[in-house]
């Protein structure tokens, strides 16, 4: 090999190594974040899967992996343990964890409200004769023991003077089936979950009585984005970047849910696309773009309302210590109010 050829090859090798080193440095700038949902890959998961699929997280220099969950309580625990850096969980479950584990070293903190209202409701079949909360007195209700609506039912019952309810526990897949069979009189559950599950079991929507908690005196907040405090301390810029990218993606999902559902199908190819599109739209209409959300602003909370919820959860869940609302919420990582202005006016 000539000296010139050797020099040329050496220069090419050095250039390739430099490019590889540059790529490695660029990749290193992308902060890895493990994120867990509250539930399976259903319609509402599009709020997170859409910005991931569209590259919004990568554009923000964060490498986000999203896993399905099996309930808000589990998500809170796994974020607290450090198994996940961030998650999506019911605010009541987060409050309960704080109050029951006052000495835990890494209690997760909520940094953005996504479901401004709890999706929980009581549902019954019209043929049962149940029409109002008063009709639930002495009735047999059913739900999994960890169901958010069941946990918060004492707040609902106090607001509506309900007494003598008997509870039956079951695994989540059996809840709607037992209601259809007549084994129980009513159920608690997320409206956009149980209502569509009842339809899948042959019940028409017009034959279901739905009593949403927010419509009957229970203005609890719903699901929020939560973060392990270690990430907040060590990389606050990554948390801010996540929330900005998520907000950008949420705007897209709210505008075109029928398009966004494709990203859910990509993660779970056996979903019923039409059903999950309806579930996503129902979630948007009832808890994401609700009147309360438009009044308070997407992603935000009202201190007085949060404090009331903290008191109600302390009483209803009989926690070891009282919930401190200031300890469970941190708004300092939110995008600007202009960036959070993503909720369209309601359709007339």
Q: Is residue 22 part of a domain?
A: no
**Sorting pLDDT into bands at 50, 70 and 90, what band is 17?**
very low
Question: Which of 289, 292, 260, 297 is closest to 276 using CA atoms?
Answer: 260
CB 178 within 8 A of CB 168: yes
Non-local CB neighbours of 187 within 8 Å, separated by 6+ positions: 122, 123, 124, 141, 142, 143, 175, 176, 178, 179, 194
Domain that holds residue 148: 120-216
Q: What pLDDT is stored for residue 346 in this prediction?
A: 79
Q: What's the pLDDT tens digit per position in 138-184?
A: 999 999 998 999 999 999 999 999 999 999 999 999 999 999 999 99
Q: What's the pLDDT tens digit per position in 171-219?
A: 999 999 999 999 999 999 999 999 999 999 999 999 999 999 999 999 9
- What percent of the chain stands above pLDDT 70? 91
Q: What pLDDT is stored for residue 2 in this prediction?
A: 53
d(CA 107, CA 37): 17
* Same domain for 151 and 137: yes
pLDDT at 27 over 50: no
Q: Is residue 7 part of a domain?
A: no
pLDDT at 32 over 60: yes
Q: Tokens 């009593």 appear where?
A: 211
* Same domain for 105 and 130: no
* Same domain for 152 and 300: no
Question: Which of 112, 39, 113 is closest to 70 using CA atoms?
Answer: 39
Q: Residue 133 is part of a domain; what is its CATH number?
A: 3.40.190.10
Q: Is residue 343 part of a domain?
A: no
Domain end, chosen from 167, 196, 216, is at: 216
* Same domain for 110 and 167: no
Question: Which of 131, 122, 124 is closest to 208 using CA atoms?
Answer: 124
Q: Are strands 166-168 and 223-227 parallel, antiparallel or unpaired?
A: unpaired
pLDDT at 99 over 50: yes
What's the total number of domains in the chain?
Answer: 2
Q: Is residue 9 part of a domain?
A: no
CB 95 within 8 A of CB 313: yes
Q: What pLDDT is stored for residue 195 in this prediction?
A: 94
Non-local CB neighbours of 40 within 8 Å, separated by 6+ positions: 68, 69, 268
Q: What's the pLDDT tens digit per position in 292-318?
A: 999 999 999 999 999 999 999 999 999
Q: Is residue 75 part of a domain?
A: yes
* Same domain for 184 and 66: no
* Same domain for 99 and 140: no
Q: What pLDDT is stored for residue 253 in this prediction?
A: 98
Domain end, chosen from 216, 232, 256, is at: 216
pTM: 0.89
Domain end, chosen from 165, 186, 216, is at: 216
Q: What pLDDT is stored for residue 9 in this prediction?
A: 57
* Same domain for 257 and 193: no
* Same domain for 173 and 113: no
**Sorting pLDDT into bands at 50, 70 and 90, what band is 12?**
low
**Which tokens hold the place of 185?**
């009189």
* Same domain for 111 and 232: yes
* Same domain for 275 and 306: yes
Question: For the chain, how many residues are written?
Answer: 348
Q: What pLDDT is stored for residue 347 in this prediction?
A: 75
pLDDT at 100 over 50: yes
Q: Is residue 83 part of a domain?
A: yes
pLDDT, mean of residues 245-258: 98
pLDDT, mean of residues 60-84: 97
Q: Is residue 334 part of a domain?
A: no
* Same domain for 249 and 195: no
Q: Is residue 348 part of a domain?
A: no
Q: What pLDDT is stored for residue 284 in this prediction?
A: 98
**Which tokens hold the place of 309?**
């919820």
Q: What pLDDT is stored for residue 345 in this prediction?
A: 86
pLDDT, mean of residues 209-238: 97
* Same domain for 232 and 291: yes
């Amino acid at each position: 090999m000539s000296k010139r050829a050797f020099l040329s090859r050496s220069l090419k090798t050095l250039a390739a190594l430099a490019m590889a080193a540059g790529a490695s440095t660029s990749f290193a700038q992308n902060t890895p974040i493990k994120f867990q949902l509250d539930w399976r890959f259903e319609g509402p998961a599009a709020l997170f899967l859409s910005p991931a699929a569209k590259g919004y997280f990568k554009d923000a220099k964060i490498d986000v992996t999203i896993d399905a969950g099996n309930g808000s309580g589990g998500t809170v625990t796994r974020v607290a343990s450090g198994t996940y850096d961030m998650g999506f969980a019911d605010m009541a479950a987060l409050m309960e964890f704080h109050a029951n584990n006052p000495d835990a070293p890494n209690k997760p903190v909520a940094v953005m409200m996504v479901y401004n209202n709890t999706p929980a409701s009581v549902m019954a079949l019209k043929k049962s004769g149940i029409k109002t909360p008063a009709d639930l007195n002495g009735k047999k209700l059913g739900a999994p023991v960890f169901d958010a609506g069941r946990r918060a039912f004492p707040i609902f019952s106090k607001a509506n003077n309900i007494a003598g309810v008997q509870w039956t526990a079951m695994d989540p897949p059996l809840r709607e089936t037992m209601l259809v069979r007549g084994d129980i009189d009513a159920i608690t559950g997320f409206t956009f979950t149980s209502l569509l599950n009842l339809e899948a079991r042959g019940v028409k929507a017009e034959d279901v009585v739905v009593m949403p908690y927010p419509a009957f005196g229970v203005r609890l907040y719903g699901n929020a984005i939560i973060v392990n405090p270690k990430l907040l301390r060590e990389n606050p810029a990554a948390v801010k970047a996540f929330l900005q990218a998520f907000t950008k993606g949420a705007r897209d999902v709210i505008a075109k849910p029928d398009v966004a559902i494709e990203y859910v199908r990509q993660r779970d190819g056996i979903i019923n696309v039409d059903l999950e599109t309806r579930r996503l739209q129902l979630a948007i209409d009832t808890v994401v773009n609700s009147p309360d959300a438009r009044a308070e602003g997407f992603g935000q909370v009202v201190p007085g309302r949060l404090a009331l919820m903290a008191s109600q959860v302390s009483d209803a869940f009989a926690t070891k210590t009282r919930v401190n609302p200031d300890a469970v919420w941190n708004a300092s990582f939110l995008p600007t109010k202009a960036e959070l202005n993503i909720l369209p006016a309601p359709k007339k």
